[in-house]
Structure 1
Amino acid sequence: MTNTSSGVLLDIHTSALAGMGSMPRHFERWAALAADESSPDADLGEELFRSLLISGDEALTALWGRHLTSWDFAENPPWGADTPARTDERRAVVYERLRFGSELRKVLDEAVPVAKVPGATVITREFTPWYTPERAAARSFYWTAYEQKLRDKGWPETAIAGLDQASRAVVERLADPEQPAARQAKGLVVGYVQSGKTANFTGVAAKAIDAGYRLVIVLGGTLNLLRAQTQRRLDMELIGQENILRGADVTDVDSLVGVDYVGDDEGWPEFVRHGGRPSTLGAFDIERLTTRDNDYKSLAQGIRALEFEKRVPTRPLHDSANLHHTAARILVVKKNKAVLTKLVKDLKQIHGILGELPTLIIDDESDQASVNTSDPKKWERGSTERTAINGLISKLLGLLPRAQYIGYTATPFANVFIDPGDDMDIFPSDFLISLPRPAGYMGVQDFHDLNSSVPVEERTYANSQEKAHVRGIYDSTGDRLQEAMDAFVLSGALKLYRADHGVHSANFRHHTMLAHESVRQDDHADLALRINSMWHQAGYSSAAGHERLASLWEADFTPVSAAYASDLPSPSSYEELRPYVNLARQRIGSGGQPVIVVNGDTDRYFAQLDLDFDRTPNVWKILVGGTKLSRGFTVEGLTVTYYRRTTQQGDTLMQMGRWFGFRSGYRDLVRLYIGREEPFGRDKSVDLYEAYEAVCRDEETFREQLAQYSVMVDGEPQVTPVQIPPLVAQHLPWLKPSARNKMFNAELVEIRSPGRPIEPAAYPLNGTVTKRNTERWRSLLQALSTTPVSFSNPPDNSSTLTRTFTALTGTVTHSDLISVLSGLEWERPRYFDPHLTYLRQLDGTLAQVDDWLLISPRLASDNRIEASVLGSAPLSLVRRSIQDGKSSFGRIASVEHRTAAQRLINDAAGAPAQIGSKTGIALVYPVVEGSSPDSVRAAVRNGAADPSKIVMAFTLVPPRSATSADRRLVRFRAKDSRHHNEATVPARTPV
C-alpha cells in the first residue's frame, strides 16, 4: 500500500465526485481517472479510505457527507430504482452504484447516517418538467454561493439538502424562463411560525435567478424595519459584497461613502463574497433597486435600472442568447400602497420589454394585506373593486405576463380561501407546498401534550411538554407576573453560566421576555409602568430576592434542565449561579430601563426603539406590546413569554406565538406564562392554552391531509390546489381558521379513511331529535354482551406502565351498522355524508368489510355511572361538554380507547390477530352533555337512561384493507353543472 497523504486523497475524491455529476457511479473508475492526472500512484483502496474515516478525517467526511446526503434526498431520480428518498433502501442503491464493499458501507453509515426525516409535501397540478438536475447544475452560481454560506453558518448537510429539495420543488413548478409562450404560475409555501421560511425563499430566489429570472420583487412586511431585515438577509446571503460595492475599491475610503453596511454593520465581513464581480467570473451581476435604508423610490435612476439591454437585439429578452448575459434586478419593498404605486407607475413607462421579462414575485407573510377582503356582495354585483395591496399586486401580475407569484406563510387558511376563478388574484392555483418541521424548531407541539397517553396525574417534567414549559395563569394563582420576571432573570443567568462553560455564546447574544396582554396602547403603557416598578422593587441584589430566585431555580429550572438538557453545563448550587444572576440583572436593567414598549405604527417609531436585532450588539430587555409583536417581527432570544391576549381567529392566534422558533442552547429554559379560563366576551370564557392546542390540531390535521393527498395516483395528482379548502378543519367553532370574506362552495362528496379514525362530533342536542337518534341504535346496543372484556396498551415512549380498561363488546354486520348510520340526524345537514358515502361502499363495491366490533368502554369504577339504554346491558355513561357558541363536542373517544382500537386494526393486518382483517372497530359512547357529574345522574332514572338526554356518539376505525386499488382518498363534485370541470364554484352564500 502506498503512503498516500489524506490531502492528495481528498483532492482525488473531490474530482471523482464532481465528475460523476448528479448521480452515483462506479467510484473506483472515476477515482482512477482523477488520479491519473494528479497522483497516478495514489492508494485508492477501500482500506485506506475506511481508515481515514475511522480516524475522523473531517474534510473527507464532510465531502462524502455532502454527496451521500444529496443522493439520499433526491426525489425520484432515474438511477434510484424507485426507492423512497431518505431511507436505508435508497442508501443501499447508492452503495451498489458506487460498488462499495460491506465494511466501507458500515463505516460510511456511521460517519454519515441516513437522515430519515420527512420531505416537503407538494400538492400540485400537472406541469411541464424543465428544471432538470443537469440544467440546475449547469447554471448554479448564486445557489452554490448560498449553499456554502449556509455551511459557513453551521447548517448540517441534512438541513441544506432538505432546503435544496424544497426550493427545487418550488422552482420546477414555475414557468421555464426561456420558453417562448408567456405563462404565469402561482403557488403557496406553508411553513411554521418563525421556522426559517426566509431561508427557503432565499434559496428559491438563488435558483430562479440562476435559471434566468431577471426581475425579483420581494414583498417584505408592512414596516420598513421588517423590509430592511429581509433586505439585509438577502444582501448578506445571496447578493454578496461585490454586487453591493458595484466596483467600489474596499481600500478607498472615499469610494465607500454611502455604501450599505460598510463601516456601520459589524456583520459586513460575514456577507457572501464571490471572489470578484460575478460578471467577470462568467456569471452575471445582481443590481439592487432597494437598499438597507431605502425602499423603492420613483427616481429616474430607478426607471433606467429597470431597462434591460439585449445582447442580441433581434431576439426577445427571454431567449437564452440574451437572458444569461444580462444582470438581474432585485427589489425588497414594503406592502405599502404608495411604494407599490410608484413601482407600478415606473413599470408602465418601460415599453415592449415587460412581456419578455421573466419575473419572480415573492410575497412574505402572504396572508397579511395581500389577500382581497372586499365585500363579496360587491363581486356578485359585478364590481371588481379590490383592497389596495391586493389590487396593486394584481396590477403587477397584469403588467408582467411572465411573472410567477409565490406566497409564503405559516397560516395558510386565508390564502386557500381566495377565489380560484379570479385570474388576476393570488390564489395558489399551481402548487401548494408544506415545508417539513425543521430540526431544532420549537413549535406549538412542544408546549402541548398532544395525544399523550400518560394520565394527567402521572405527568412529570420528563414526560410532559406542558409541565416543562407552560405555567398557567389562573384566578387561584394570581397573575404570576413577578414569577415570570424572576424566570427571565434566572434564565439569563443560566445562559451566561453556559457561555462561560463552553456553550457557543452566539446563542445568547440577545435575551428577551415578551409581555402581551392587550391590543390597546394605553394598556401597554400601564403594563410597562407596572413591570418597571416591579423590577425596581424586586430586590434582585438583596438577600430576599436571591432567596426567591434560589427557590424558583431549585423547584423549576433544575428539574426541567435535568430532564431536557442533561448534556449542558449546570451549576451545582444556586451560590455557583449567583454571580451570573448579578450580571443578568445588570444587562437587563442597563440604562435604568428594563422595559421597551413596542406598539407604534410608523418606521420612525421603530427606528427610535433601537430594536434592530441584526445591528444591535445585545438586546436584554422585557418587551411589552400587542399586534406589532404578533407578525413578522422576530423577537430574538425570546425565552420567557407572558401572554394573556385573546382573539377569535386561528391564524391570528398562531402568529401571536412569538415563543415559537429555534432555541439552540436554551430550549430547556423557555417558559410560557399563559392565561387559563380568561374572561372573553359576554358570558364566555376562553382558555388560551386550550385554544392554542385546538388551532394546532387544525393546522396539523391540514398538513396531515396534504401529506396523504400528495401521493400521485397513476401519475396524476389526487387533488389540486383548488380542491384544498374543504380539507380545512376547525376544532373550536368560535376560533375560525381565518377572517374569510370569500368562501369556496365546493361539495366534498367522499372522504376515505382506511385504517384511520372517523369521529363525527356535531350531534344535535334537541331532545326530540336526540331521542330519535338514540332509538335507531336499539338493535346494535342489544348486541353488546353483559361480560366486560379487558383491553390494554403496552408501555410506550411516554410511559413505562401498561394501561388497561374494560368494555362491553359485541359484533354486528356491516349492513346493520350502515343501516343505523344512514338514519342518523346531524346538527348540520349532510355533515356526515362524505364519510357515509365511503362507508356504504365497504359492502364489496369498494372493498369488503364483513363486520364491526362494537366496544363500549367503561370508566374507572370511582367515576362510573351506569345505566341501561333502551334495554341494553348497563353502559358506562360519558360526560362531554359543549361551550357556549359551539356546535359540536371537542372530542369523543379518549386517547386510551383510540390507541387500543388502532392497535387492533393495525395488528389485524398480520397474524395472529384478535380480529379479522375485514373487521372494523366502532367505539360507542352514550354521552350526556354537561359540565358536571350531576348532569349524568339527572339523565338516569331507576337504572335506565332517558333516551332524549343520551347522545349515542361513536368513533369508527375501518380496517386498513377498506380501500380500493386506485388509492384515492377524497372525491369532489361541483354543485353547479355549468362548472362540471371544476371542483369548486364561486360562493353565493357563506359556508
Structure 2
Amino acid sequence: MFSVRDYSTDGFQLAHEWMLRKLNRGMTWAGLMLCGKTSEDACQDFLDGREEDDDWPRLSVAEWQEFVTYYRQLEEESQSCIIPDNATDCNINDMSAPGLVHSAWQLYKKKLLEEKNFSAASVSQIEKSTLDILNRLNRGESPEDKRHVKGMVVGNVQSGKTANMGALLSMAADYNWNMFIILTGTIENLRLQTQQRFLDDLCSGNVSWQSFEHPGSNNTSSMSVLDLKSGSRMRYLVCCLKNSRRLEALKRWLNSDINRKKQLRILIIDDEADQASINTKDITEDEKTRINEYLTDIVNDSGQGEFGAMNYVGYTATPYGNFLNDASPESLYPRDFISVLEPSDLYFGPQQIFGSSYNEDMNGLPIICPISGEYRRKKDDATNYDLDVLMDICSSDSAATVEPPPSLKNAIAWFCIAVAIRRGRKNKQACTMLVHHSMVTEHHGKIGLSIVNWLKNVSMDDFIVLCKNVYAEETARFNKEVLKSTLPLYGKKSGIDIDRDIEDYPVFDELVRHIKDLKSTIGHIYLHDANELSYHEGIHICIDNCKYEKVVQNKEFDSYVRLMYPGKEQEGVPYAPAFLVIGGNTLSRGLTLEGLVCTYFSRDCSQADSLMQMGRWFGYRRGYELLPRIWMTDGALKKFQFLSDLDHDLRLNLYRYSTQMTPMDCGPCILNTSGVAMLRLTAKNKSQSAIKAEMSFAGARLQTIYFENDVETLRKNLYVADKFIQSLGSPDDDMMKVHPDKLVWTDIPFDNIWEEFLSQSDYRLSQLPDLGVIKQWIDNLSRNTTLDNWSVVLSGKKNPGNQWNGVGKITRTRKISGTLTPDSKSICIGVLSDPSDWAADIPNVDNLKKEYYSSVESKRDAKEADKEDMKAAVRAMAGKGNVPLLVIYCIDKTSGSGKDYKGQEDGKSYRSPLNAVEDIVGIYIRMPGQMINKDYFTYVTIDLGD
C-alpha cells in the first residue's frame, strides 16, 4: 500500500460508500478512476462538487485515483481460506454481495461503518469472507439436493467473529434462508446478551426479523404462525442455549409440522462450537452426550419429513476438539468446508504478542511482565515467590492481612497509570484490569480482600512513587518506536500511520491527579434505590464468578459486586470508569472485557484450547495501543509461545490443502509436541479419534536461535562439541584453501554424529521439540532408502586473535522483545547460519552456480529462479544431492559489548549485547531432498475411517 492519507475519516467513508454503490450497479474499477466521467477535467469538477455539497475531503484526480487503487487492492487481498467441497466444485454457488440499499446486508454494512467504527478495509474483508462461506451452503432450491451441509469457520480469540456471523445472517436473509438458529453456549446471561446483540445489529429493510424465545416450550407459538411462503419478508431468529432440555424442545418444535418443515431453509450457527457441542462420550460404544445427540438429530434431520435446507456452521477460535473428535457421517465434523477468518491488521493476536518461530520478523511485543514462581516447584526451594504469596492469600482465613505480591502491586500501579492516561485524553470508555489466578470461586474473594486492604492502607505518597517507578520502566521498555520496530505493518491496510495516529505517553506529572482520584475511592459499583447502578471516580472492585452474590447490602447503600459496565442509561459518566475484575471461568469465554489494559494471569492450565480462550488480552486496542500489559509466569509464557505456533501452524495447514482436497479427504493436521510437556491440545474425551500423522524432514533447514543463558548447559555443549570435533581427525585441506574461515569433514556417518555429539548436547532447534525426532525419522527412512554420510563444518570468521578449534568465533547479538530483555535468561539471536554455509563442502561452488544459471532459459527466469532450487541443483551437480550437512558455530560471549543496550534500530527489531555467561555453541542442519513439510513437529489428525 502506498497511501499516506487517513481513509478512516467520515469524509472518506462517504466517498467509499459512493464507490461501493457504483460497483454494485455495474461500474468497473477503470470507470471509477474518473468517477464515471470521460475526462480528468470532468472528474475534477465532480470531486469539487462532492467536497462542497456532500462533505467529501478535498481531492485532486491523482489523489482520488490513489484512493480507488487502495480499495481495489484491498478487494483483491481480502479473502478467506476455503477447503472446497470436492474437486469439481459442483456445490459452490455463485451469489454476490446483495447490492440493494435496503438489503439486510447493506444496512448491516452501514451499521458496521457508521455505528461500530469498523474500518472500510475490515468491512471489505468481512464481506469477502462471508461470501465465500455463503456460497458453500445449501439453499434448498433444487429438490434433488438433499445435502446437510456441515462447515467450520476458524476465527481468532476476541477478533470479531460476531461481526462475521452478523454478516452471514444478513446475506443469507437476503438470499431467502428463513430460519436462523444461533447456539450460544451454556450460560443463560451470555445467551441473553448474544440474543440482544443480534437483535440490535440485524437490520430490517427488505426483510423483517422476528425472534422466538425458548421455542418448543409451552408458551411458544406453534409452527403454524410462521410465514414461510415464497417471497415472504419474514426471517426468524432463535438464540438457543446449549442445554439438553432447550435443544430437545427446539427439535420437537422444528418437527411439529411436516408441511412447514419442508419450507424451512435453516442456517444453524454454533458459536464456540468446541464448547458443549462435541460428543465426549465413548464413540467406540456408539454413545453420545445428550446435547450432542439432540444437536446431531436436528442437523441430520432425524424427524419425519425433510427440511427445505439444513446448514450447520460452527464458529470457534480453538477447533482442536472439533477436528479430532469424530468424523462419522452423522457427526458434526465439518465434512463440507473449513473457512479461516483473517483478522484485520489492527488485531493483537498470539503472533503479535508472543512472537512466531515461523517468522523471524514477528518477535512479540515487549508487554509481558514476569510473575515469579511455578506451580510445581522443588520442595527444598525456600524462596518466597509471587505465586507463593498468592497461594498464602487463597489459603488464609484472614486474607485481608496478607499483602499482594510485588508483581501484582506493579500491575495495579500500571492499571492506574493506563486509566489516568485515558482520562487525561478525555476518553470516557471503560478501562479494565483482569486478575485470573484460580477457578476456585472462594479464592476470588480472598484475592479481592487482599487487594482492597493494600490499596486502602498504602499511603498516597508511597503509591505515587510506585506508579512513577513502574511508569519509567514500562515506557522505556515499550513505546511508539518499539511498536514501529516490532509491528511495522500495524494498521497499514486500515490507513493508520503509527507516527501520525498513535498518541505517545504524556509526562508522568500530568497523571498524578488522576491517579490520586483512582486511589481515593476503592469499592464496588454502587447500587441505590430502585436498583439504579452508579459509578465513582475510583477503582471498582468486581468479583465475577458463577456463585458470587451480585449484591452486598451495606448500611448506607448496597453494592453490586459482579462486573457490569455502564449502559446507555449511564452514558453521562464524565470520566473513564475503572474496573478491577477478579474471576475465573466466567471470564474465559464469550465475554469481552472493555478497554482491557492490564492482565494479571497467574492461572495454571494444561489444556491448549482452554488456555487460548483465557487470553482475553487478544483483540483490538485501537486508540490505546501502547497501554496493554500482561503479567504471567514463565511457565505460562512458554505455553502461550507454543500456542502461538500451534495457532499459526493450523492455519498454514488449512491453507496448504485449500485447493486440493476436502476435510473428508484429508483431516486437518494439528501440531503436537513434547516441547510443552504439561500441555494437552484439548480434553481427552474431545479427541477420541486423534491419530498420529506422518512427519518429514526432507529439505529441512534447522538452526538454533534460542539459548538458555545457563553456565552449566553452555559449558556442557562446548565440551561435547570440542570433543566431537577432535574425534573427526584432520579436516579437508582442499576445502580450507577455498574457505579459510571454515573446517570441513566429509563422509561422516550419522551414527557417529548422533552418539558422540547430538545425543549428548542440549539444543533447541527452530520449529523442533527435541533432537530425538530427527533420529527417529532417519531410522524410519533407512528402512526404505538411506541418506549418504554427512558433511560436518565448523564455520567461523577470519579472526586470528579470538579462535576456537582453529576458526574465529562468530558474533551475534540479542533480540529484545516480549520478555526477552538484555539480561533475561533466555537469549534469542534471530539468525545463526551464514548465507554461504549451504555450500561449505563444495570446492567449486561458483563455477557450478554459473553453470546452473546458464541452463536457465532467459535472464528473467534466472532472476526469478528460486534460490533453494538453485542450491539443491548445485549440491546435486557436486555429487552432494543426498548428503546432509551439519554446521557448528561458536558464538563469542562478549558479542556486541560496548554498544548501547537499548540497541541500534535495524528497522525491524531492537538488539543488545549477547551478555552470555559462556561462549555459545550453535548448530545448523540442512537435510537433502524436497521440502515436503516445512513444519518439523509430530502432528495429530482425525481418523477418517476407510
Normalising by structure 1, report the TM-score.
0.64
Residue 442 of structure 2 corresponds to 522
The yes-or-no answer on 1:551 pairing with 2:469 is: yes
Counterpart check, 1:125 vs 2:85: yes
Cα offset, 1:333, TM superposition: 1.6
The residue number in structure 2 matching 1:735 is: 679
For residue 182 of structure 1, report the CA deviation from its aligned partner: 1.9
1:497 corresponding residue in structure 2: 424
Secondary structure of 1:200's partner? helix
Measure, in 1, the Cα distance between the counterparts of 2:423 and 2:313: 41
Structure 1 residues 581, 350: CA separation in 2 closer, same or farther (over 3 Å shift)? Answer: same
> Which residue number in structure 2 is paired with residue 509 of structure 1?
429
How far is 1:390 from its partner?
Answer: 1.2
> How do 1:388-467 and structure 2 match up within 5 A?
388-399=290-301, 401=307, 402-420=309-327, 422-451=328-357, 465-467=364-366
1:986–1:156 CA distance, 2 compared to 1 (3 A) = same
Counterpart secondary structure, 1:579: helix
- The 8 Å contact of residues 195 and 239 in structure 2, kept in 1 or not, is answered as yes
String of CA shifts for 1:811-861, please: whole Å, max 9, x gaps.
779xx989999xx999679952799599969x9xxxxxx998755567999
- Distance in 2 separating the partners of 1:212 and 1:405: 16
SS of the residue aligned with 2:259? coil
1:232 is aligned to 2:176: no
Instruction: Find 1:600's aligned residue among 546, 558, 575.
Output: 546
Query: Which residue identity is paired with 1:446?
Result: Q
How do 1:360-759 and structure 2 match up within 5 A? 360-375=267-282, 379-380=283-284, 383-399=285-301, 401=307, 402-420=309-327, 422-451=328-357, 465-474=364-373, 479-499=406-426, 505=427, 508-539=428-459, 542-557=460-475, 560-563=478-481, 564=483, 567=500, 568-569=502-503, 573-585=507-519, 589=523, 591=526, 594-600=540-546, 609=562, 611=564, 617=571, 620-676=578-634, 687-710=635-658, 712=659, 717-718=660-661, 720=663, 723-730=666-673, 731-741=675-685, 742-744=687-689, 748=693, 751=696
Cα 1:149–1:648 shift into 2, 3 Å: same
**Partners of 2:547 and 2:228 in 1: how far apart?**
43
Structure 1 residues 258-303: Cα deviation after superposition (integer angstroms, max 9, x where no partner): xxxxxxxxxxxxxxxx5xxx4xxxx33221113xxxx556135432
The yes-or-no answer on 1:148 pairing with 2:148 is no
Does the alignment pair 1:21 with 2:21?
Answer: no
Distance change in 2, residues 1:745/1:404 (3 Å): same
Q: Is the 8 A contact 1:722 1:984 kept in 2?
A: no
Q: Give the C-alpha shift of residue 488 in structure 1.
A: 0.9
**Per-residue CA distance 1:122-165 (angstroms, 9 max, x = gap):** 22332435532458557981111111111113222211110011
Q: Which residue of 2 aligns with 1:298?
A: 217
Shift of the 623–498 alpha-carbon distance from structure 1 to 2, 3 Å rule, reads same
Q: Which runs of 5+ in 1 are unaligned?
A: 1-5, 33-43, 66-99, 241-273, 312-321, 456-462, 500-504, 677-686, 762-770, 792-805, 844-849, 877-890, 929-950, 976-981
**Residues 45-89 of structure 1, C-alpha deviation per residue, up to 9 Å, x if partnerless?**
213425776999499898999xxxxxxxxxxxxxxxxxxxxxxxx
Deviation for aligned residue 1:175:
1.2
Structure 1 residues 549 and 352: CA distance shift in structure 2, 3 A: same
Amino acid at match of 2:83: I
What SS does the aligned partner of 2:221 have? helix
Decide whether aligned partners of structure 1 residues 423 and 927 sit closer, same or farther in structure 2, where only a CA change above 3 A counts. farther
- How big is the shift at 1:919? 4.9
Contact 1:493 1:580 in 2 (8 A): yes
Map 1:800-815 to 2 at 5 A.
808-809=743-744
For the Cα contact (< 8 Å) 1:130–1:176, is it kept in 2? no
The two structures, once aligned, show a CA RMSD in angstroms of 5.6
How big is each residue's C-alpha offset from its partner over 1:539-574, in whole Å with a ceiling of 9 and x where there is no partner? 3xx333223322322332366345347654557533
**Cα drift, residue 664 of structure 1:** 1.5
CA distance in 2, matches of 1:851, 1:210: 65
How has the CA–CA distance of structure 1 residues 16 and 335 changed in structure 2, closer, same or farther, with 3 Å as cutoff?
A: closer
Deviations 1:888-918 (A, max 9, x none): xxx999742268589999x998599897452
Q: Comparing 188-197 with 126-135, which one deviates more in the overlay?
A: 126-135
User: Which residue of the partner structure matches residue 169 of structure 1?
Assistant: 132
- Kindly tell me: are residues 834 and 627 of structure 1, through their superposed partners in 2, closer, same or farther at Cα, counting changes over 3 Å? farther
Displacement after TM superposition at 1:424 (Å): 2.2
Other-structure match for 1:202:
166
Report the CA distance shift for 1:675/1:860 in structure 2 as closer, same or farther (over 3 A): farther
Query: How do 1:755-766 and structure 2 match up within 5 A?
Result: none
Task: Determine the structure 2 residue equivalent to 1:189.
Answer: 153
Provide closer, same or farther for how the CA distance between residues 723 and 752 of structure 1 changes in structure 2, counting only shifts above 3 A: farther
- 8 Å contact kept, 1:226–1:632: yes
Residue 779 of structure 1 and its aligned partner are, at CA, apart by: 9.2
- 1: CA distance, partners of 2:614 / 2:90: 39
Letter in 2 for 1:918: A
2:199 aligns to what SS in structure 1?
Answer: helix
Distance 2:265 2:119 in 1: 33
Distance 2:436 2:352 in 1: 20
Give the share of equivalent positions with the same residue, in percent: 20
How far, CA to CA, are the matches of 2:639 and 2:58 in structure 1? 46
**Cα deviations by residue, 1:911-935 (Å, 9 ceiling, x for unpaired):** 998974525795637899xxxxxxx
Contact 2:269 2:315 in 1 (8 A): yes
Letter in 2 for 1:693: Q
SS of the residue aligned with 2:432?
strand
Instruction: Show CA shifts across 1:312-336 (max 9, x none).
Output: xxxxxxxxxx2x3252211112112
Q: SS of the counterpart of 1:405?
A: strand
Cross-structure match for 2:832: 897
Distance in 2 between residues matched to 1:601 and 1:673, nearest whole Å:
26
SS at 2:652 equivalent: helix
Q: Which structure 2 segments of 5+ residues have no match?
A: 1-10, 374-383, 387-404, 484-497, 527-537, 553-559, 707-719, 760-770, 811-825, 841-848, 854-861, 876-882, 891-920
Cα distance in 1 for partners of 2:783, 2:262 equals: 48
Contact 2:370 2:632 in 1 (8 A): yes
User: Secondary structure, in 3 states, of the residue corresponding to 2:682?
Assistant: coil
Q: Equivalent residue of 1:424, what SS?
A: coil
- TM-aligned CA distance change 1:226 to 1:453, over 3 Å: closer
Distance 1:352 1:926 in 2: 75
**Alignment partners' CA distance in 2, 1:827 and 1:464:** 27
Please state how far the C-alpha of 1:395 moved relative to its aligned partner.
Answer: 1.9
Note if contact 2:325-2:942 (Cα within 8 Å) is conserved in structure 1.
no
Could you tell me which amino acid in structure 1 is paired with residue 516 of structure 2? N
- Quote the Cα distance in structure 1 between the aligned partners of 2:90 and 2:101: 20
Aligned pairs for 1:818-967 (under 5 A) are 832=777, 836=781, 855-856=793-794, 895-897=830-832, 900=835, 916-919=871-874, 924=886, 955-956=925-926, 962=930
TM-score by length of 2: 0.67
1:177, distance to aligned residue in structure 2 (A): 3.0
Count, aligned residues: 755
Q: Per-residue displacement from partner, 1:163-186 (whole Å, max 9, x unpaired)?
A: 011111111111123221221111
Structure 1 residues 25 and 572, CA gap change in structure 2 (3 angstroms): closer
Work out the CA distance in 1 between the residues paired with 2:610 and 2:131: 30
Structure 1 residue 736, shift from structure 2 partner: 1.4
